[in-house]
Amino acid sequence: MNFTSIDYIIFIGYILGIVALGLYVSRDKKGHEKNSNDYFLAGNTLTWWAIGASLIAANISAEQIIGMSGSGMAGGLAIASYEWMAALTLIIVGKFFLPIFIEKKIYTIPEYIEKRYNTTLKTILAIFWIFLFVFVNLTTVMFLGAKALDTIMGNGDGTLLVPAMIGLALIAAAYSLYGGLSAVAWTDVIQVILLVLGGIITTVIALDHVTPDGGIFAGLSHVYDKAGDKFHMILSRDNPEFSNLPGIAVLIGGMWIANLYYWGFNQYIIQRTLAAKSLKEAQRGIAFAAFLKLIIPLIVVVPGIVAFIMYSQPEGTAIVEGARDAFSKANGTINYDKAYPWLISTFVPTGLKGVVVAALTAAIISSLASMLNSTATIFTMDIYKPYVNKAATEKRLVTVGRITAAVALVIALVIAPFLSTLPQVFQYIQEYTGLVSPGVLAVSMLGLFWKKVTTRGAIWGTILSIPVALILKIPAIQLPFMDQMMYTFIITIGIIAMISLSSNKFDDDPKGFNLTAKLFSTDSTFNIASYTILMILAVLYAAFW
């Protein structure tokens, strides 16, 4: 047991504080009962700094901190493309997607699909997103979070796995089920501060211990000398991780599909921006989140590379032996996802360990709360209200949202333990989400920007994109999953275009959006932030090519 009384006091203090804050900020104001807008869109009161912090807190969870650190141990800095390319993607979403969403005053992405196409396609995608959130996102976040806590607070033998999952679920439910998006978003401001602070502490301590003589800069130099091949953003074809990060495709291929889908059309991410006070506030929040994405690899990927150095050193020191004992599985493979929790458990001192574990728990809980709220939003507004009870009162909608979130949480709790056989859970999420995301992205983007797309074309594109993705996934073709996503996206666009033009060659679809240049104009603050981010990204990729 590596956790001491002082660590438990700090950890429990954080839990009580965050639940109390969530309940306080989402309390009903005097004379006002919470309605659906309050519960699902925080009453459109979110400011830029709350939006930016909440975007990162919702995004950075166990699958990033634990999963990306494990992938960093396996493949190095190349996995950071998910973060750095996301910064650029956020700018694109803020510039071109958000103005349309906010002008149409939508609650959910399925609602956008209904406005542009029809109710049938909206329902198909609403059901898909609910299944994705419950069976992939909620389960992986819960499992990886519990796995980390089992390693840090227990012995790493799985004894605490189920109790930790139950505890995480109850903490997230304690304030998110009652308060809705308002509770989630405002507590995320505290969560993201803790997340960054805990990540920096872990990185600094890991670097200080990677050499016998200590020293942060000496440690960084040592890591670069011993594992220089881990600091390349573009992997060569002979790299063992090439199938996960296929070279230049991370810049010009499937990475764009993953990022544009995730940041532009993923309900539990985009919901924060839809809850903004104004379009300008939402765009500034997105720019703030993009800046935060630039520093995430420092606190997530670098610790994984440090763990690789400690695992691979030939000397028979206690640290090397401890790393090998921690990471080696019975079948001879390496359990990469244990890298980050092992570093915390082994090197972070008493007191600080409580802070770091609180930060890790903050990341897990904020993502769970976000996914629960978005699952409840989609089910309530896109399934329950139109199909079950069209005359539902505002109070009834809020109640259904709370029940939906609770049921989703219970289902995820039952399924999560079955993920224990996977070596890299982060890659599992990307790969299996990638079976459906190219088709959804193709339908969604064409709907925004091409007026000739018809509902018939969109429905057939959505349906056929999945068998296309499965065909490209067969071993005989041997395509990395990012390339599968890119080709699935291109083929789906071709299917949608052919079907749409075959039925309507000359006229625009009646539901096509009328877009003007004025709609996409942005203020100087957003523009300056965007250019700054572009320059920083150019320097980073030039330095670590």
- Token pair for 383: 């399934």
Strand partners, 46: 276
Residue 328, SS3 per DSSP: strand
In whole angstroms, give the CA distance from residue 303 to residue 199: 9
Residues of the chain with pLDDT under 50: 1
HSE (CB half, 13 Å, CA atoms) of 482? 22
- State the Cα–Cα distance between residues 168 and 180, nearest whole angstrom: 17
The answer to whether the CB of 450 falls within 8 A of the CB of 509 is no
pLDDT in tens, 150-190: 877 777 677 888 898 999 888 888 888 888 888 888 888 88
- pLDDT score at 317: 61
CA distance 504 to 471: 29
Place of tokens 């296309």: 468
Question: In 227-348, where does DSSP find H-type helix?
Answer: 249-252, 254-265, 267-274, 279-312, 318-327, 339-347
Cα angle 453, 443, 465 (rounded to 5 degrees) comes to: 115
What is the identity of the amino acid at 439? Answer: G
The predicted model scores a pTM of: 0.87
The pLDDT, as a whole number, for residue 1 is: 47
